[in-house]
Copies of this chain bind each other. A is one copy, B any other.
Amino acid sequence: MRDTSYLAVDEQRLEANLAAMAAHADALGVALRPHAKTHKSLEVARRQLAHGAVGLTVATVAEAEIFAAGGCRDLFLAYPIWAEGPRADRLRALARIARLRVGADSVEGVRMLAAAVRAGRRGEAPASALEGAAPLAIAVEVDSGHHRSGLAPERAAEVAAAALDAGLAVDGVFTFPGHSYGVGAGAAAAADEARALAIARDALTAAGIPCPVVSGGSTPSAGAAEGGVLTELRPGVYVFGDAQQWELGTCVPDSIALTAHATVVSRRDGVVVVDAGSKALGADRPGWASGFGRVLEVPEARITALSEHHATIALPPGIAAPALGSRLRLVPNHVCSAVNLADELVVERDGVEVSTWPVSARGANT
């Protein structure tokens, strides 16, 4: 028996989720390049590649370094990297061991990237894994409705042209339709994504810039994605699922592959408190969510409050409160946040612990 709280992975459910998304991408005729920020695990990454993923998506240079060192040599850093200071040297070193694509949404950003690559040209081996290949490729990030980073799709060619001028390669365009995170919002976000990416792709083509990669995808929008415009999908959360996906209807409880095991430590009428709080689950709580996570064994229950080491669970009338000392499996609202709080994932098969996997890229924020 392990002391709670800890994160546990149901290996069979994980495998089923990996297979299902691989089949979905196959059916759409698009490449699958899953976002590794969700699991931060070399073991899960290897399984994704074994299921046919063309490479991985990452969010930070530090994540790229960890997955490249772990053997994944085709990486998309889907973030508008500002390549100054030590990060410039780190990018150059990375590009010597991996095929590297980096996001960009500004002319200044691509010039900084190009300067970073040039800074290493004299006396260093070329910043590319492949002799003769372009040293570093960019993909232009466009906004499809989430209004985070990314420029207007009509303007994608400005950044692509600046990249070519500065001596970088251009792979194509990408977006993150993060506004898919809302009840019933997935299909509309997928349509926005396709529209924005088509505009961006056409802008590049009109400027005479080839656009082989048209990359989109989030877990809530992936189900509604169409193969017509997209050439690549980048979902992340699908590997484990979480309470957000459960409440959005993009996963079912029986497919949730990661839970926080917790113990009932306090109990009163209709309420129990367990020993997994925001330092185990993360504090994510969108307005449309029913609470701070869910309880796998008691779908009627709601996590009504979350402290650092307490989850307060309200039980509806007629549902008996679990006894002190009972163990419950909590489903985090946002699994990416929960995984990033743990040093390791406890792997279970049929409820029996069979292994632990390190969260190798935990805290890789630079």
Chain A interface (Cβ < 8 Å from any Cβ of B): 1-6, 37, 59-61, 79-82, 84-87, 90, 105-106, 108-109, 112, 147-151, 178, 263-268, 273, 275-276, 278-280, 282-285, 305, 307-310, 312, 324-325, 334, 336-337, 340-343, 363, 365-366
Contact = CB atoms under 8 A, between A and B. Distances in A.
B148 A310 contact: yes
A309 B365 contact: yes
B334 A283 contact: yes
A337 B265 contact: no
25 contacts: A1-B84, A2-B366, A5-B365, A5-B366, A6-B366, A59-B309, A79-B265, A79-B275, A80-B266, A80-B273, A82-B264, A82-B265, A84-B263, A106-B324, A109-B265, A147-B312, A148-B273, A149-B266, A151-B268, A178-B307, A282-B282, A283-B285, A283-B337, A309-B365, A342-B365
A155 B191 CA distance: 59
A90 B365 contact: no
Given A106-B324, A266-B105, A334-B283, A86 B309 contact: no
Contact of A324 (B4, B82, B263, B273): B82
A85 B340 contact: no
Given A59-B308, A108-B324, A343 B363 contact: yes
Contacts of A80: 265-266, 273
A82 B178 CA distance: 40
Contacts of A324: 82, 106, 108-109
Copies per complex of this chain: 2
Contacts of A1: 84-86
Nearest to A7: B365
Contacts of A365: 5-6, 276, 279-280, 309, 341-342
A279 B337 contact: yes
B366 A3 contact: yes
Given A6-B365, A279-B337, A325 B284 contact: no
Given A148-B307, A178-B307, A340-B341, A2 B86 contact: yes
A99 to B, nearest CB: 22
B87 A312 contact: no
A108 B150 CA distance: 56
A6 B150 CA distance: 24
Contacts of A37: 308-309
Given A109-B324, A337-B279, A365-B280, A265 B149 contact: yes
Nearest to A334: B283
